[in-house]
Amino acid sequence: MSTLQVQGVTVRFGEVTAVNDVTLSVDVGVTGLIGPNGAGKTTLFDVISGLRRPSSGRVLLDSTDITSRSPHQRSRLGVARTFQRLEVFGSLTVWENVVVALESRRRPSRLAGGLLERVGIAEFSSNQADTVPTGAARLLELARALATDPSLLLLDEPSSGLDRAETDAFGALLRELVGEGRAVVLVEHDMDLVMNYCDVVHVLNLGRLLTSGSPEEIRSHEGVREAYLG
């Protein structure tokens, strides 16, 4: 049984079909969702996290149809998400940001320190969130997502703003999260991160699922090269 099933999902914005009859499943592991700009990756994340209703199709979580559930209800079912555009509370400290996320799920605030250690930004705990470097703010978003103890974690371009060493540490953390039985889906432009840390990669192009496979299969896929090279 897959954690997440996307079945025949289509999203139209007027004349534009952003996501076109996409069917895919996600299991425990690191799953990459890649594709050129405008391929429909963020729109598909919006559908999975409940921010957007599909024009047609269904989303199932652990075999339950959640297509009409709100983002809040999905969060309680174990779905957490980070955004391409940072969504932290800028005027709160880094530590307070995580506490707010913990409290939203009635989890104890004493867990905040451990979460910040885990993502590698404990040194910024008492800094105001809008004063920390972009990479640290991105890791704070991850800590906030982890504060909800998700079974399905959706990460939108998590490595932007991270340097190479931070990206490698981030990749290692992803593997740890999988070891805890979580499913992680990554929209990511950093192909090294995708190829080194993903178990499965889905490729979108012009709203359609072009192909799915292991990183090796994706790397050698003719259509993928064409989609990227135009």
Ligand X SMILES: Nc1ncnc2c1ncn2[C@@H]1O[C@H](COP(=O)(O)OP(=O)(O)OP(=O)(O)O)[C@@H](O)[C@H]1O
Binding residues (CB under 6 A) for ligand X: these are 13, 16, 18, 35, 37-43
Tell which residue, 184, 191, 226, has the closest CA to residue 48.
Answer: 184
Provide, rounded to whole angstroms, the least separation between the CB of residue 6 and ligand X.
14
Q: Smallest gap, in angstroms, from Cβ of residue 1 to ligand X?
A: 28
Is the CB of 151 or the CB of 167 nearer to ligand X?
167
Of residues 129 and 224, the one with the C-beta less far from ligand X: 224
Distance in Å, CB of 158 to ligand X, minimum: 13
CA dihedral 38, 162, 178, 26 (to 10 degrees): 0
Q: How far is the CB of 101 from ligand X (least distance, A)?
A: 24
Token pair recorded at residue 161: 């703003």
CB 8 within 8 A of CB 153: no
Phi first, then psi: what are they for 17, rounded to 5°? -100, 100
Q: What is the DSSP letter of 54?
A: -
Residue whose CB is less far from ligand X, 18 or 132: 18
Is-contact 185 31, C-beta < 8 A?
Answer: yes
- Locate 169 and state its tokens: 């540490």
Using the minimum distance from each CB to ligand X, give the nearer residue, 99 or 200: 200
Round to the nearest angstrom and report the end-to-end CA distance of the chain.
36
The distance of closest approach from Cβ of residue 189 to ligand X in the complex, given in angstroms and rounded to an integer, is 7
Q: Residue 39 or residue 129: which is nearer to ligand X going by CB?
A: 39
Separation CA 127–CA 197 (nearest Å): 31
